[in-house]
Homo-oligomer: A and B are copies of this chain.
Amino acid sequence: MRLLVARCTVDYQGRLTAHLPEAVRLIMVKADGSVLVHADGGSYKPLNWMSPPCWVEERPSESEREGEGVTTWVVHNKAQERLTITVHEVIHDSQHDLGTDPGLVKDGVEAHLQKLLAEHVESFGPGWTLVRREFPTAIGPVDLLCRDADGSTVAVEIKRRGEIDGVEQLSRYLELLNRDPLLAPVSGVFAAQEIKPQAKTLAHDRGIRCLVVDYEELKGTSDSSLRLF
Protein backbone atom coordinates (compact mmCIF):
# COMPACT_ATOMS: atom_id res chain seq x y z
CA MET A 1 0.00 0.00 0.00
CA ARG A 2 1.31 3.40 -0.99
CA LEU A 3 0.31 6.42 1.06
CA LEU A 4 0.70 9.78 -0.58
CA VAL A 5 -0.26 13.06 1.05
CA ALA A 6 -0.24 15.66 -1.68
CA ARG A 7 -1.65 18.89 -3.01
CA CYS A 8 -3.63 17.71 -6.01
CA THR A 9 -6.55 18.12 -8.36
CA VAL A 10 -8.70 15.16 -9.34
CA ASP A 11 -11.07 14.49 -12.22
CA TYR A 12 -13.34 11.51 -12.70
CA GLN A 13 -15.10 10.66 -15.91
CA GLY A 14 -17.23 7.56 -16.23
CA ARG A 15 -20.66 6.90 -14.79
CA LEU A 16 -20.72 10.63 -14.12
CA THR A 17 -18.36 13.56 -14.37
CA ALA A 18 -16.75 14.93 -11.20
CA HIS A 19 -14.00 17.39 -10.36
CA LEU A 20 -11.99 18.21 -7.25
CA PRO A 21 -10.24 21.60 -7.03
CA GLU A 22 -6.65 21.83 -5.85
CA ALA A 23 -6.20 20.91 -2.18
CA VAL A 24 -4.16 18.66 0.10
CA ARG A 25 -5.54 15.13 0.27
CA LEU A 26 -4.54 11.56 1.04
CA ILE A 27 -4.07 9.33 -1.99
CA MET A 28 -4.08 5.64 -1.14
CA VAL A 29 -2.94 3.09 -3.71
CA LYS A 30 -3.73 -0.47 -2.65
CA ALA A 31 -1.86 -3.60 -3.63
CA ASP A 32 -4.61 -4.57 -6.08
CA GLY A 33 -4.14 -1.28 -7.96
CA SER A 34 -7.25 0.42 -6.60
CA VAL A 35 -6.95 4.11 -5.75
CA LEU A 36 -8.73 6.13 -3.05
CA VAL A 37 -8.66 9.90 -2.57
CA HIS A 38 -9.59 10.93 0.97
CA ALA A 39 -10.19 14.30 2.60
CA ASP A 40 -9.64 14.89 6.32
CA GLY A 41 -13.32 14.60 7.12
CA GLY A 42 -16.57 13.14 5.95
CA SER A 43 -17.14 9.48 6.64
CA TYR A 44 -15.57 6.40 5.19
CA LYS A 45 -16.41 7.19 1.59
CA PRO A 46 -13.53 8.70 -0.39
CA LEU A 47 -14.01 11.90 -2.38
CA ASN A 48 -13.00 9.98 -5.49
CA TRP A 49 -11.80 6.48 -6.17
CA MET A 50 -11.29 3.70 -8.68
CA SER A 51 -12.24 0.15 -7.79
CA PRO A 52 -10.24 -2.88 -8.87
CA PRO A 53 -9.52 -4.22 -11.38
CA CYS A 54 -7.87 -1.07 -12.66
CA TRP A 55 -4.49 0.19 -13.82
CA VAL A 56 -2.42 3.27 -12.99
CA GLU A 57 -0.46 5.02 -15.70
CA GLU A 58 1.96 7.71 -14.58
CA ARG A 59 2.22 10.35 -17.24
CA PRO A 60 5.19 12.66 -17.80
CA SER A 61 4.79 16.23 -16.61
CA GLU A 62 2.54 18.41 -18.69
CA SER A 63 4.68 20.64 -20.89
CA GLU A 64 3.62 23.96 -19.39
CA ARG A 65 4.31 22.70 -15.88
CA GLU A 66 7.68 21.15 -16.58
CA GLY A 67 10.26 21.72 -13.93
CA GLU A 68 7.63 22.31 -11.26
CA GLY A 69 7.55 18.65 -10.32
CA VAL A 70 3.98 18.16 -11.42
CA THR A 71 2.98 14.60 -12.24
CA THR A 72 -0.27 13.24 -13.57
CA TRP A 73 -1.70 9.81 -12.83
CA VAL A 74 -4.37 8.31 -15.01
CA VAL A 75 -6.22 5.39 -13.46
CA HIS A 76 -8.53 3.53 -15.82
CA ASN A 77 -10.50 0.32 -15.90
CA LYS A 78 -12.06 -2.00 -18.46
CA ALA A 79 -15.27 0.07 -18.63
CA GLN A 80 -13.45 3.17 -19.89
CA GLU A 81 -13.90 4.92 -16.57
CA ARG A 82 -11.03 7.28 -15.91
CA LEU A 83 -9.64 8.92 -12.79
CA THR A 84 -7.07 11.63 -13.40
CA ILE A 85 -4.96 12.82 -10.48
CA THR A 86 -2.64 15.75 -10.97
CA VAL A 87 -0.09 15.98 -8.17
CA HIS A 88 1.22 19.51 -7.60
CA GLU A 89 3.16 19.02 -4.40
CA VAL A 90 4.14 15.88 -2.47
CA ILE A 91 3.97 16.26 1.30
CA HIS A 92 4.37 12.63 2.31
CA ASP A 93 5.08 9.45 0.39
CA SER A 94 5.52 6.01 1.91
CA GLN A 95 5.05 2.39 0.93
CA HIS A 96 4.01 -0.50 3.18
CA ASP A 97 3.63 -4.24 2.82
CA LEU A 98 0.47 -5.29 4.65
CA GLY A 99 0.05 -8.83 3.38
CA THR A 100 -3.32 -10.44 2.78
CA ASP A 101 -6.00 -9.80 5.36
CA PRO A 102 -7.54 -12.77 7.20
CA GLY A 103 -10.95 -11.15 6.72
CA LEU A 104 -13.94 -10.09 8.75
CA VAL A 105 -16.10 -12.23 11.00
CA LYS A 106 -19.69 -11.00 11.17
CA ASP A 107 -22.66 -11.92 13.30
CA GLY A 108 -25.80 -10.25 12.04
CA VAL A 109 -29.17 -9.49 13.60
CA GLU A 110 -31.11 -10.33 10.47
CA ALA A 111 -31.29 -14.12 10.48
CA HIS A 112 -31.66 -14.15 14.24
CA LEU A 113 -34.91 -12.20 14.04
CA GLN A 114 -36.45 -14.79 11.71
CA LYS A 115 -35.34 -17.60 13.98
CA LEU A 116 -36.82 -15.93 17.06
CA LEU A 117 -40.17 -15.27 15.39
CA ALA A 118 -40.28 -18.86 14.07
CA GLU A 119 -39.83 -20.08 17.63
CA HIS A 120 -42.60 -17.78 18.89
CA VAL A 121 -45.31 -17.84 16.21
CA GLU A 122 -47.86 -17.90 19.00
CA SER A 123 -46.82 -14.29 19.47
CA PHE A 124 -48.62 -13.35 16.24
CA GLY A 125 -51.83 -14.38 17.92
CA PRO A 126 -53.32 -17.16 20.06
CA GLY A 127 -53.60 -20.51 18.31
CA TRP A 128 -51.12 -19.67 15.52
CA THR A 129 -48.91 -22.48 14.24
CA LEU A 130 -45.84 -22.57 11.99
CA VAL A 131 -46.18 -24.48 8.72
CA ARG A 132 -42.53 -23.92 7.86
CA ARG A 133 -39.67 -21.43 7.63
CA GLU A 134 -38.37 -20.47 4.18
CA PHE A 135 -41.47 -21.90 2.50
CA PRO A 136 -40.44 -22.40 -1.15
CA THR A 137 -42.27 -20.76 -4.05
CA ALA A 138 -41.40 -20.31 -7.71
CA ILE A 139 -40.20 -16.74 -7.08
CA GLY A 140 -38.30 -17.41 -3.85
CA PRO A 141 -38.82 -18.54 -0.28
CA VAL A 142 -41.44 -17.00 2.00
CA ASP A 143 -39.85 -16.22 5.38
CA LEU A 144 -42.60 -17.85 7.45
CA LEU A 145 -45.76 -19.68 6.42
CA CYS A 146 -48.24 -19.96 9.27
CA ARG A 147 -51.81 -20.87 10.08
CA ASP A 148 -53.90 -18.71 12.34
CA ALA A 149 -56.46 -19.89 14.92
CA ASP A 150 -59.06 -20.42 12.14
CA GLY A 151 -56.65 -22.56 10.14
CA SER A 152 -56.27 -19.84 7.48
CA THR A 153 -52.89 -19.56 5.80
CA VAL A 154 -50.71 -16.50 6.53
CA ALA A 155 -47.47 -15.55 4.79
CA VAL A 156 -45.04 -13.54 6.94
CA GLU A 157 -42.29 -11.37 5.49
CA ILE A 158 -39.58 -10.32 7.95
CA LYS A 159 -37.22 -7.37 7.58
CA ARG A 160 -35.01 -5.46 9.97
CA ARG A 161 -36.29 -2.24 8.48
CA GLY A 162 -39.64 -2.36 6.72
CA GLU A 163 -39.73 -0.37 3.50
CA ILE A 164 -41.82 -0.38 0.35
CA ASP A 165 -39.68 -3.03 -1.35
CA GLY A 166 -40.56 -5.51 1.37
CA VAL A 167 -44.28 -4.91 0.89
CA GLU A 168 -43.86 -5.46 -2.87
CA GLN A 169 -42.01 -8.68 -2.21
CA LEU A 170 -44.73 -9.96 0.11
CA SER A 171 -47.41 -8.90 -2.39
CA ARG A 172 -45.77 -11.03 -5.08
CA TYR A 173 -45.68 -14.04 -2.75
CA LEU A 174 -49.33 -13.54 -1.80
CA GLU A 175 -50.41 -13.32 -5.43
CA LEU A 176 -48.63 -16.58 -6.18
CA LEU A 177 -49.74 -18.42 -3.03
CA ASN A 178 -53.36 -17.45 -3.60
CA ARG A 179 -53.29 -19.30 -6.92
CA ASP A 180 -52.82 -22.54 -4.96
CA PRO A 181 -56.31 -23.85 -4.05
CA LEU A 182 -54.82 -25.90 -1.21
CA LEU A 183 -53.54 -22.74 0.49
CA ALA A 184 -55.89 -19.94 -0.59
CA PRO A 185 -57.04 -17.67 0.83
CA VAL A 186 -53.62 -16.52 2.06
CA SER A 187 -53.28 -13.28 4.01
CA GLY A 188 -50.07 -11.41 4.78
CA VAL A 189 -48.17 -10.04 7.76
CA PHE A 190 -45.25 -7.63 7.35
CA ALA A 191 -42.96 -7.83 10.39
CA ALA A 192 -39.97 -5.57 11.07
CA GLN A 193 -38.16 -3.78 13.87
CA GLU A 194 -39.14 -0.51 12.22
CA ILE A 195 -41.72 0.18 9.50
CA LYS A 196 -41.55 3.31 7.34
CA PRO A 197 -44.83 5.30 7.02
CA GLN A 198 -45.02 4.84 3.25
CA ALA A 199 -44.54 1.10 3.59
CA LYS A 200 -47.23 0.98 6.26
CA THR A 201 -49.62 2.91 4.02
CA LEU A 202 -49.00 0.63 1.04
CA ALA A 203 -49.33 -2.50 3.17
CA HIS A 204 -52.61 -1.27 4.63
CA ASP A 205 -53.88 -0.45 1.16
CA ARG A 206 -53.21 -4.04 0.14
CA GLY A 207 -54.79 -5.60 3.20
CA ILE A 208 -51.45 -6.59 4.70
CA ARG A 209 -51.08 -6.36 8.46
CA CYS A 210 -48.00 -4.64 9.89
CA LEU A 211 -46.17 -5.85 12.95
CA VAL A 212 -43.47 -3.90 14.77
CA VAL A 213 -41.08 -6.24 16.59
CA ASP A 214 -38.98 -5.26 19.57
CA TYR A 215 -35.88 -7.38 19.08
CA GLU A 216 -34.54 -7.00 22.59
CA GLU A 217 -37.84 -7.85 24.25
CA LEU A 218 -38.45 -10.78 21.92
CA LYS A 219 -34.99 -12.10 22.73
CA GLY A 220 -35.84 -11.67 26.39
CA THR A 221 -39.09 -13.62 26.22
CA SER A 222 -42.69 -13.71 25.29
CA ASP A 223 -45.69 -12.13 23.65
CA SER A 224 -45.77 -8.69 25.19
CA SER A 225 -42.95 -7.88 22.78
CA LEU A 226 -45.23 -7.50 19.77
CA ARG A 227 -47.64 -4.78 18.84
CA LEU A 228 -50.20 -5.40 16.11
CA PHE A 229 -51.56 -2.58 13.95
Partner of A23, one of B40, B99, B160: B99
User: Are A44 and B41 interface neighbours, CB within 8 A?
Assistant: no
* Cα of A48 to Cα of B31 in the assembled complex, Å: 18
Judge if A98 is at the interface, Cβ distance under 8 Å: yes
* Cα of A3 to Cα of B160 in the assembled complex, Å: 34
Instruction: List residues 103-124 of chain A with CB under 8 A from any CB of chain B.
Output: 103-109
* Cα of A15 to Cα of B112 in the assembled complex, Å: 13
Judge if A168 is at the interface, Cβ distance under 8 Å: yes
Of residues A30, A32, A39, A165, which shows the largest number of chain B Cβ atoms within 10 Å of its Cβ? A39
User: Are A104 and B18 interface neighbours, CB within 8 A?
Assistant: yes
User: Are B17 and A3 interface neighbours, CB within 8 A?
Assistant: no
User: Are B48 and A43 interface neighbours, CB within 8 A?
Assistant: no
* Cα of A98 to Cα of B92 in the assembled complex, Å: 11
User: Are B201 and A138 interface neighbours, CB within 8 A?
Assistant: yes
Count contacts on A: residues with CB < 8 A to the other chain. 63
User: Are B48 and A104 interface neighbours, CB within 8 A?
Assistant: yes
Partner of A109, one of B15, B24, B101: B15
User: Are A3 and B31 interface neighbours, CB within 8 A?
Assistant: no
Contacts of A202 in B (CB 8 A): 139, 172
Instruction: List residues 38-81 of chain A with CB under 8 A from any CB of chain B.
Output: 38-49, 51-52
User: Are A43 and B47 interface neighbours, CB within 8 A?
Assistant: no
* Cα of A165 to Cα of B44 in the assembled complex, Å: 27
User: Are B26 and A36 interface neighbours, CB within 8 A?
Assistant: no
Judge if A88 is at the interface, Cβ distance under 8 Å: no
Of residues A43, A47, A109, which shows the largest number of chain B Cβ atoms within 10 Å of its Cβ? A43
* Cα of A19 to Cα of B108 in the assembled complex, Å: 12
Interface CB pairs A-B, < 8 A, 25:
A3-B92, A5-B96, A15-B108, A15-B109, A16-B108, A17-B107, A18-B105, A23-B102, A24-B99, A25-B101, A26-B28, A28-B38, A30-B38, A30-B40, A34-B41, A34-B44, A40-B101, A41-B52, A44-B44, A44-B46, A44-B49, A91-B96, A138-B201, A139-B202, A172-B202
Q: Top 7 nearest A-B pairs by Cβ distance?
A: A39-B101, A16-B108, A40-B98, A31-B40, A43-B51, A17-B107, A21-B102
